RNA sequence: GCGGAGUUAGCUCAGCGGUAGAGCAUCUCGCUUACACCGAGGGGGCCAGGGGUUCGAAUCCCUUACUCCGCACCA
């Protein structure tokens, strides 16, 4: 080898250079060719709100592993990157920025404000790209998309218009979730419930014309100002006579009817009397419709009380209003009691502000017709979800889905393509209108924008050039749609995954992807959620700077099983040691390899010795395992398999076994040549196996091996080759390893030093085995530190006897007093062997076991018994 | 309330019907010319409790307890 590796593994020395090398090579960009087998995947577009966190590092590492694996496996592979405009979230961060400057978005006005958000977007989209680059993401940046791009916006507009024309989008006055802080309606999925220790207020409502009261209980006394009725259960004897009478609403002194409503009222709960506020509670809203109760809006869009709440309250905040209402009730003697009450408060997931249910005119998607095919697609296996347990959650949600509120009273987003005229006509149109098609009056465009997830729902096809009817021949769409795999967090299963499935099926007639893998949440070592308040947040870029991208990626892969992922410094450190190991093993190999891959020629299998056959056979098995586990999204199993092989088989054993030959201490020149060739082979294949997990270090090393391909990332991914399988070589090599381990154990147990040398007697059960041990006597001598290995001789009396992997061995130790501790150890060994033997014999003595268990199990048990018997007898001779 | 997941070595988890595993941590011994981010070796578990199915259960079924996550939500 001409080139050598640096003495120390320092990722910062080459990671950026390697990434630039890939970009220059154009390896991230697939060809647009319908004939070639393709693999495509779209990134879950990160929000342009800020920097990427460790969760992004995870989801993008997992995608890159799959993408690199598929690309090396011969697929024409596209990983399409991009970002999401993230309506509310981005608007919020920019508003906060403005706040620091002492202005609000209203001071700027819509147009100027949106300009500011675009500036923000440009800056952060660049930053996000840089971060993904540092992680090694092999995404095709030439196809980078943003949800507000012109093409994607056209697709959004087309979908909106089409759904409207099909009667699946409507505009209506309805009870919606209103966020007073963001001053917009939000959809059901954006509402989160927070368990809160609140209060339950019991209030007396006087009954008109009597001196009786009805006691109602409420958690939100301020809403009573908008009460327009009191409900009891129609069959409740306690109150039956009151139905039809009026109660007097305290403070407001307004008569409100007492109605019977079996749906709203649960007789058993509380006093069995419910105040009805149709304008500020979903259940009350419906009860109000049933009983013809008027809707009085007492809380406005900003969470302040309206004029309808009366002069005492108009304009004050809803929180303050609550205190004042309670105070007034107390003064009037109508407050019965206040109980502690634990209940769930609905808050806006983005800003934690308590939701105000409110009647408002909004745009909705009639969802049921879209949901049905989406349910079927998962049910009939067109789409699989991994881990499968999420399918139940998916069905549960889809089957109980409610219409989707898609309008947002925001400025940042896709403006709804509806045009209102002064005569009250509304027209939805692909083209911008200036006059009303119905009456010719002037029109203005709807000011609301669409829910961010409306555009994200089209992501798998809008990013590939689909823009509605007539755009289906877009080349990327033709070649890469439908995509194959979607990898994302389970937290956006409803927000995003479900919507993509619905939209994809509706508009392209195809499921947008066939496999969904939902990854877990990254947590800290103690399983806690990472949060700024706890201070346990790990910034992926810090880790990359510290230990390199490869160590971080490998740690994430090893930890990712679909469940929550505990991540801490110790884990990352452990796997950065592994990268270091790869580096140093490669360094060692390259000191001996003297011909590059291009000129190495095929391996002459007939000349291979047992140890070489063994390592190649093991490598082949690992290759099978990795390919299989990756196809199942078992990143943990796949990465652990290579880790185990590379470190504990290749480095710990094979390299050590090859050293005597490589260093010229043993064997012929041809032996050495062959050993070098095998060393190169195993290193090459291992690097290729590892590449999807550790792209940088594998490339840095592999380039120096002089392969045919210009980059490891387009070299073929190893596949299983039957000729490499060799169970006999594995059996014999395992025996050698076990014998060496046994000698090492005994050395330690008996208190000998590494310098003490022993004589080993070993016997094969046939001439072939004897020859094998004769051939590898030098290895036993070297690695077990012996002075002699005797294959023929009879061990002298007093030698330590044992049976290892079925082979009888005897070891002659130099004179040394055997301590009580050592005798104890022998005794325990015997005890352990005897216990197992007895258990096995009992099994065989059980007629039902022999009769019912599969024959191979019975045989294996018999074989084990024979082995244990032999071992027990041998061990007993040591006493 | 409905649904899902979990409870295995000190920690984090894998194994999901046939002799209890890994990583980290811990202890002992070693600076053997790739690597001390190393090597060799050791200790440590009635697989949450109970019941059942089976020749055989950490693994399947039932049940209890606790934890977590969705969804729904009673004022």
Describe the strand order of the beta sheet including A404-405 as a list of residue ranges. A184-186, A169-179, A356-365, A404-405
Verify if strand B has an atom below 7 Å from the CB of A12.
no
Return the closest nucleotide (C1') to the Cα of A566: B12
Distance A714 CA to B20 C1' (A): 42
Verify if strand B has an atom below 7 Å from the CB of A207.
no
Q: φ and ψ at A419, to 5 degrees? A: -125, 125
Q: A482: cis peptide before it, omega within 30°?
A: yes
The span from the CA of A499 to the CA of A319, in Å, is 36
The stretches of A339-447 forming alpha helices (DSSP H) are 368-379, 389-399
Return the closest nucleotide (C1') to the Cα of A527: B12
Inter-axis angle of helices A669-690 and A635-643, to 10 degrees?
160
Inter-axis angle of helices A54-72 and A110-135, to 10 degrees?
60
The span from the CA of A253 to the CA of A778, in Å, is 104
The span from the CA of A695 to the CA of A702, in Å, is 10
The span from the CA of A259 to the CA of A541, in Å, is 62
Q: Judge whether A439 and A394 are in contact, CB under 8 Å.
A: no
Return the closest nucleotide (C1') to the Cα of A284: B75
Verify if strand B has an atom below 7 Å from the CB of A588.
yes
Distance A831 CA to B54 C1' (A): 29
Greatest C-alpha distance within chain A:
118
Q: φ and ψ at A428, to 5 degrees? A: -100, 130
Helix, strand, or coil (residue A38): strand
Verify if strand B has an atom below 7 Å from the CB of A396.
yes
Beta strands of A553-668 (E only): which ranges? 565-566
The span from the CA of A423 to the CA of A435, in Å, is 11
Verify if strand B has an atom below 7 Å from the CB of A842.
no
Q: How far apart are the first and last CA of chain A?
A: 55
Verify if strand B has an atom below 7 Å from the CB of A393.
yes
Beta strands of A312-423 (E only): which ranges? 335-348, 356-365, 384-386, 404-405, 407-408, 418-421
Verify if strand B has an atom below 7 Å from the CB of A579.
yes
The secondary structure of residue A225, as a DSSP letter, is: G
Q: Which residue has tokens 């290579």?
A: A642
Q: φ and ψ at A172, to 5 degrees? A: -155, 160
Q: Judge whether A529 and A521 are in contact, CB under 8 Å.
A: yes
Verify if strand B has an atom below 7 Å from the CB of A556.
no
Q: φ and ψ at A177, to 5 degrees? A: -85, 120
Measure CA A375 to chain center.
22
**Listed residue (A218, A293, A225, A232) closest to A264, CA to CA:** A232
Verify if strand B has an atom below 7 Å from the CB of A632.
no
Count Cβ atoms below 10 Å from residue A358 Cβ, excluding itself.
21
The span from the CA of A519 to the CA of A58, in Å, is 8
pLDDT tens-place string over residues A4-39? 788 899 999 999 999 999 999 999 999 999 999 999
pLDDT score for A160: 97
DSSP states along A524-564: -TTSPBP-TTTT----HHHHHHHH-HHHHHHHHHHH-SSS-
Residues 756-775 of A with CB under 7 A from strand B: none
This model of the complex carries an ipTM of 0.95
The secondary structure of residue A497, as a DSSP letter, is: I
Distance A542 CA to B62 C1' (A): 50
Count Cβ atoms below 10 Å from residue A431 Cβ, excluding itself.
8
Helix, strand, or coil (residue A656): helix
Q: Which two tokens stand for residue A837?
A: 């033997």
Distance A565 CA to B23 C1' (A): 14
pLDDT < 50 stretches in chain A: 1-2
Distance A788 CA to B45 C1' (A): 40
Verify if strand B has an atom below 7 Å from the CB of A580.
yes
Bridging pattern class, strands A356-365 and A404-405: antiparallel
3-class SS letters over A748-779: HHCCCCCCCCEEEEECCCCHHHHHHHHHCHHH
Distance A568 CA to B26 C1' (A): 19
Q: Which two tokens stand for residue A505?
A: 């099926």
The per-type count for chain A, helices as H runs and strands as E runs, is 29, 29
Q: Judge whether A134 and A541 are in contact, CB under 8 Å.
A: yes
For the purposes of burial, counting CB atoms within 10 Å of the CB of A224, is it exposed (0-12), middle (13-18) or buried (19 or more)? Answer: buried
Verify if strand B has an atom below 7 Å from the CB of A203.
no
The span from the CA of A760 to the CA of A807, in Å, is 12
Q: Which residues are within 8 A (CB) of A59 and not within 5 positions of it... i.e. 6 or more apart?
A: A44, A487, A488, A489, A519
Verify if strand B has an atom below 7 Å from the CB of A656.
yes
Distance A748 CA to B49 C1' (A): 42
Distance A860 CA to B44 C1' (A): 29
pLDDT tens-place string over residues A585-633? 999 999 998 888 888 888 888 889 999 999 999 999 999 999 999 999 9
The span from the CA of A185 to the CA of A178, in Å, is 4
Give nucleotides in strand B with any atom < 7 A to a protein C-beta.
3-5, 11-14, 18-19, 22-25, 28-30, 32, 34-35, 37-42, 54-56, 70-75
Per-residue buried b or exposed e for A85-96, using 16+ beta carbons within 10 Å of the residue's own CB: bbbbbbbbbbbe
The span from the CA of A90 to the CA of A119, in Å, is 11
Q: Which residues pair with A758 in a beta bridge?
A: A786
DSSP states along A695-746: HHHHHHHHGGG--SSS-GGGSPPP---GGG--HHHHHHHHHHHHHHHHHHHH
Distance A745 CA to B37 C1' (A): 26
Count Cβ atoms below 10 Å from residue A499 Cβ, excluding itself.
25
Sign of the torsion formed by the C-alpha atoms of A565, A570, A573 and A575: negative
Distance A341 CA to B64 C1' (A): 29
The secondary structure of residue A600, as a DSSP letter, is: H
Residues 414-433 of A with CB under 7 A from strand B: none
3-class SS letters over A425-471: CEEECCCCCCECCCCCCEEEECCCEECHHHHHCCHHHHCCCCCCCCC
Distance A566 CA to B47 C1' (A): 21
Return the closest nucleotide (C1') to the Cα of A276: B75
pLDDT tens-place string over residues A123-166? 999 999 999 999 999 999 999 999 999 999 999 999 999 999 99
Q: Judge whether A55 and A524 are in contact, CB under 8 Å.
A: no
Give the pTM. Answer: 0.93
The span from the CA of A509 to the CA of A504, in Å, is 7
Measure CA A529 to chain center.
14
Residues 514-543 of A with CB under 7 A from strand B: 525-527
Count Cβ atoms below 10 Å from residue A447 Cβ, excluding itself.
14
Return the closest nucleotide (C1') to the Cα of A665: B33
The span from the CA of A449 to the CA of A457, in Å, is 15
The secondary structure of residue A498, as a DSSP letter, is: I
Residues 811-830 of A with CB under 7 A from strand B: none
Return the closest nucleotide (C1') to the Cα of A857: B18
Distance A579 CA to B38 C1' (A): 13
Q: Which two tokens stand for residue A440?
A: 């010719």
Verify if strand B has an atom below 7 Å from the CB of A848.
yes
């Amino acid at each position: 080898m001409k080139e050598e590796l640096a003495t120390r593994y320092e990722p910062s020395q080459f990671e950026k250079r390697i990434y630039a090398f890939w970009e220059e090579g154009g390896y991230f960009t697939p060809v647009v060719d319908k004939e070639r087998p393709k693999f495509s995947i779209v990134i879950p577009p990160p929000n342009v709100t800020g920097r990427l966190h460790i969760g992004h590092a995870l989801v993008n590492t997992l995608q890159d592993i799959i993408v690199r694996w598929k690309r090396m496996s011969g697929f024409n592979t596209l990983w399409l990157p991009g970002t999401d405009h993230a309506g509310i979230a981005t608007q919020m961060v920019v508003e906060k920025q403005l706040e620091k400057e002492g202005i609000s978005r209203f001071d700027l006005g819509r147009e100027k404000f949106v300009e500011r958000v675009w500036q923000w977007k440009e800056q952060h989209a660049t930053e996000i790209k840089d971060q993904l680059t540092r992680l090694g993401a092999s995404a095709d940046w030439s196809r980078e998309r943003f949800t507000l791009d012109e093409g994607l916006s056209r697709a959004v507009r087309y979908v909106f218009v089409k759904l409207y024309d099909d009667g699946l989008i409507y505009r209506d006055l309805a009870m919606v979730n209103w966020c007073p802080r963001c001053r917009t309606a939000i959809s059901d999925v954006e509402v989160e419930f927070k368990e809160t220790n609140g209060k339950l207020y019991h209030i007396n409502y006087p009954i008109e014309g009597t001196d009786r009261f009805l006691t109602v209980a409420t958690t939100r006394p301020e809403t009573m100002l908008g009460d327009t009725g009191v409900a009891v259960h129609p069959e409740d004897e306690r109150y039956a006579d009151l139905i039809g009478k009026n109660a007097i609403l305290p403070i407001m002194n307004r008569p409100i009817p007492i109605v019977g409503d079996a749906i709203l009222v649960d007789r058993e709960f509380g006093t069995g009397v419910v105040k009805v506020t149709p304008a500020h509670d979903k259940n009350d809203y419906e009860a109000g419709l049933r009983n013809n109760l008027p809707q009085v809006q007492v809380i406005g869009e900003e969470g302040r009380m309206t004029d309808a709440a009366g002069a005492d309250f108009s304009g004050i905040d809803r929180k303050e209003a609550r205190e004042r209402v309670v105070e007034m009730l107390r003064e009037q003697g109508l407050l019965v009691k206040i109980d502690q009450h634990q209940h769930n408060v609905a808050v806006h997931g983005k800003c934690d502000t308590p939701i105000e249910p409110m009647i408002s005119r909004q745009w909705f998607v009639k969802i049921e017709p879209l949901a049905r095919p989406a349910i079927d697609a998962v049910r009939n296996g067109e789409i699989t979800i991994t881990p499968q347990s999420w399918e139940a959650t998916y069905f549960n949600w889809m089957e109980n889905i409610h219409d989707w509120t898609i309008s947002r009273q925001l400025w940042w987003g896709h403006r709804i393509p509806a045009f209102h005229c002064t005569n009250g006509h509304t027209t939805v149109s692909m083209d911008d209108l200036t006059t009303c098609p119905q009456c010719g009056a002037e029109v203005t465009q709807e000011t609301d924008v669409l829910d961010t997830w409306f555009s994200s729902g089209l992501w798998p096809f809008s990013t590939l050039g689909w823009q509605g009817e007539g755009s289906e021949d877009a080349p990327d769409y033709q070649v890469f749609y439908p995509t194959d795999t979607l990898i994302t967090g389970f937290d956006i299963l409803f927000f995003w995954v479900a919507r993509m499935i619905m939209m994809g099926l509706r508009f392209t007639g195809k499921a947008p992807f066939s496999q969904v893998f939902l990854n877990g949440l990254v947590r800290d070592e103690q399983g806690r959620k990472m949060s700024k308040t706890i201070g346990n947040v790990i910034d992926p870029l810090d880790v990359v700077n510290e230990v390199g991208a490869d160590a971080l990626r490998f740690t994430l892969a090893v930890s990712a099983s679909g469940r929550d992922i505990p991540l801490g410094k110790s884990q990352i450190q452990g796997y950065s040691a592994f990268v270091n190991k790869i580096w140093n093993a490669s360094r060692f190999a390259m000191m001996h390899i003297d011909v590059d891959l291009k000129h190495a020629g095929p391996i002459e299998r007939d000349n291979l010795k047992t140890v070489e056959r063994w390592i190649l056979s093991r490598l082949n098995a690992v290759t099978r395992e990795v390919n299989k586990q990756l196809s199942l999204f078992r990143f943990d199993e796949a990465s652990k398999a290579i880790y185990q092989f590379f470190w504990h088989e290749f480095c710990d054993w094979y390299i050590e076994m090859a050293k005597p030959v490589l260093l010229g201490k043993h064997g012929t020149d041809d032996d050495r040549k062959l050993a070098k060739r095998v060393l190169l082979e195993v290193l090459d294949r291992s690097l290729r196996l590892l590449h999807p997990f550790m792209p940088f270090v594998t490339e840095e090393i592999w380039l120096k091996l002089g392969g045919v391909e210009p980059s490891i990332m387009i070299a073929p991914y190893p596949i299983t080759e039957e000729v490499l399988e060799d169970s006999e070589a594995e059996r014999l090599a395992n025996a050698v390893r076990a014998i060496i381990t046994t000698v090492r154990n005994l050395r330690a147990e008996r208190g000998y030093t590494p310098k003490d040398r022993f004589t080993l007697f070993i016997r094969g059960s046939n001439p072939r085995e004897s020859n094998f041990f004769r051939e590898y006597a030098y290895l036993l001598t070297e690695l077990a530190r012996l002075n002699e290995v005797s294959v023929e001789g009879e061990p002298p009396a007093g030698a330590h006897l044992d049976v290892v992997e079925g082979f009888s061995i005897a070891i002659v130790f130099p004179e040394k007093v055997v301590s009580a501790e050592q005798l104890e150890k022998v005794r325990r060994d015997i005890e352990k062997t005897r216990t197992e033997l007895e258990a096995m014999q009992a099994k065989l003595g059980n007629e039902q076991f022999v009769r019912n268990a599969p024959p191979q199990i019975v045989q294996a048990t018999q074989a084990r018994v024979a082995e244990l018997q032999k071992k027990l007898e041998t061990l007993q001779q040591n006493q």
